[in-house]
Structure 1
């Protein structure tokens, strides 16, 4: 229990430092974007690669991943059902808005927050790699395809949608690490040392970037999408981890670290990518932004409770 609390304390303290750096613009107004890109394109891929090449496929594709994927699908369906029932037909959100809300309720922040949580709380970054693969290879292309069909925004071709995962360095690094691990060959430590050096910066930089991104948010401001926003956040931080627990514990028989990994990954807050998708197609931008901030704040408590309960 003490180790769990210490791990989360480190995460939130560094995140708070990032918020203060962003609040007072100590690194300039463009720093959050630059830092996030550095993590996304360099540090986090190095961390995933070095972790996965030292693991085995059995350590990656586990029951924890199955519980996470099933909880994601069920929560997405629950959000859609609630929205269709809660809104009268004449004021029902359009398909694009429903898609953004569904992603806000089920698409987790596996990068900026998932990697630090996996490192400090789960003790193994390999738990987060298959989550990243699932979201990048399946969830994101499906969501973008629906937005493409239902909105009048810029329409990428089917080929562009199919190539989307290949443009993600996190996905490429994860896939490369898993591929090397399946061969049974392990690169010499001298070869991995430069990657390890870069990888060591991934967690602190990701947390600083996360904290800096929270500056200027007003998630509690009343608006037309208030009900949709709170529904998405409740499903994200409460519904999804509960479903993952029920599936993992009673359907898959998971216990110990595997069950903890399933529930913790499901309890991660909404990913910032959802805001990117919403902005690109100009659908429910405020809903996406506020859901990200609210779920990130709420996850500070729910993740600790989950880890204390199952850890």
Structure 2
């Protein structure tokens, strides 16, 4: 129980299990899942993202290591998207293979295993994680959704530039980028958040992880896991094995060593973050598959993250 991987992942597994039991007992009906998803996505996520970004000072961030992390994630996302054939469903699945649970699992895991110095780099990554990956995924999803919607109508085809413009507008005026941009802009004023504002935002933000994971469990209680198990295992393998392997290779070739490379590889090895589940719910794409993948990747990570953490020191010497 004292192993950092077990200590970090077990609470996540238990929260999903609470959701499964709650769903099986019909304490939360399936009809309420969409409303709870909106609560998490449109309220709790907003508070978490704005508060996180409101204390980020761009001049203090070391962009070199984390920019490589995002380059690897974006490359893997693009390859997964192209292999499946560009579609909004494929974009959600590609996000599953690249978006890590860096907050609920990453912070306690890295803190317990590597100490305070390692957390500095992880916090830099976390401060940009949603901004870069979720905004990137949102733009892609909106572009693909616009193309699919246009193809379903028999009227004259919309001009490509107009489609791009509308997709970019929808991606910016969106529940994910807006609080990130607002928080980042506010941070540059140097004013800080008054306690009367900061405290409620903190409480709402802290509720995001537990409520989102319980919601995963509720959805899981009614999902066809058997039908999606093969796909969930494949996505979990990409997320917890291929993603960290690519990060390790790219980092090593770029000259990263020591704690910097270790933290980025461990971050890449983490299971799928709950934000991907919320994206699948919002766009109503691959919902059962993504729900199963979040749960399966969390269970698989008990083995794969331990393996990654064991092999890294041997490989780096």
Is residue 264–residue 306 contact of structure 1 (8 Å, CA) maintained in 2? Answer: no
Match in the other structure for 1:117: 105
Match in the other structure for 2:30: 29
Is residue 240–residue 268 contact of structure 2 (8 Å, CA) maintained in 1? Answer: no
Match in the other structure for 1:71: 72
Distance in structure 1 (CA, Å) of the matches to 2:41 and 2:282? 14
Match in the other structure for 2:222: 216
Is residue 15–residue 214 contact of structure 2 (8 Å, CA) maintained in 1? Answer: yes
| The 10-residue stretch of structure 1 (298-307 or 131-140) with the greater mean CA deviation from structure 2 | 298-307
1:289 correspondence with 2:283: no
| The 10-residue stretch of structure 1 (62-71 or 269-278) with the greater mean CA deviation from structure 2 | 269-278
| Residue 192 (structure 1) aligned to one of 198, 201, 211 | 198
Matched position secondary structure for 2:40: helix
Deviation at 1:141, TM superposition (A): 1.6
Against the structure 1 CA distance between its residues 100 and 65, is the aligned structure 2 distance closer, same or farther, given a 3 Å change threshold?
A: farther
Distance in structure 2 (CA, Å) of the matches to 1:278 and 1:195? 28
Against the structure 1 CA distance between its residues 78 and 41, is the aligned structure 2 distance closer, same or farther, given a 3 Å change threshold?
A: closer
Against the structure 1 CA distance between its residues 40 and 30, is the aligned structure 2 distance closer, same or farther, given a 3 Å change threshold?
A: same
Matched position secondary structure for 1:128: helix
Distance in structure 1 (CA, Å) of the matches to 2:96 and 2:173? 19
Against the structure 1 CA distance between its residues 217 and 169, is the aligned structure 2 distance closer, same or farther, given a 3 Å change threshold?
A: same
TM-score (norm 2): 0.72
Matched position secondary structure for 1:178: helix
| The 10-residue stretch of structure 1 (127-136 or 38-47) with the greater mean CA deviation from structure 2 | 127-136
1:159 correspondence with 2:158: no
Deviation at 1:26, TM superposition (A): 0.6
Match in the other structure for 1:100: 89
Matched position secondary structure for 1:14: helix
Distance in structure 2 (CA, Å) of the matches to 1:206 and 1:115? 13
| The 10-residue stretch of structure 1 (9-18 or 229-238) with the greater mean CA deviation from structure 2 | 229-238
Matched position secondary structure for 1:186: coil
Is residue 236–residue 293 contact of structure 2 (8 Å, CA) maintained in 1? Answer: yes
| Residue 260 (structure 1) aligned to one of 259, 263, 277 | 263
Is residue 39–residue 206 contact of structure 1 (8 Å, CA) maintained in 2? Answer: yes
Is residue 44–residue 204 contact of structure 2 (8 Å, CA) maintained in 1? Answer: yes
Match in the other structure for 1:8: 9
Gaps of 5+ in 2: 112-121
Distance in structure 2 (CA, Å) of the matches to 1:250 and 1:94? 30
Q: Deviations 1:228-269 (Å, cap 9, x if unpaired)? A: 776555333321222122223442515436742454246432
Deviation at 1:297, TM superposition (A): 0.3
Gaps of 5+ in 1: 84-92, 280-284
Against the structure 1 CA distance between its residues 20 and 305, is the aligned structure 2 distance closer, same or farther, given a 3 Å change threshold?
A: same
Against the structure 1 CA distance between its residues 41 and 251, is the aligned structure 2 distance closer, same or farther, given a 3 Å change threshold?
A: same
Is residue 238–residue 267 contact of structure 1 (8 Å, CA) maintained in 2? Answer: no
Is residue 23–residue 222 contact of structure 2 (8 Å, CA) maintained in 1? Answer: no
Matched position secondary structure for 2:176: helix
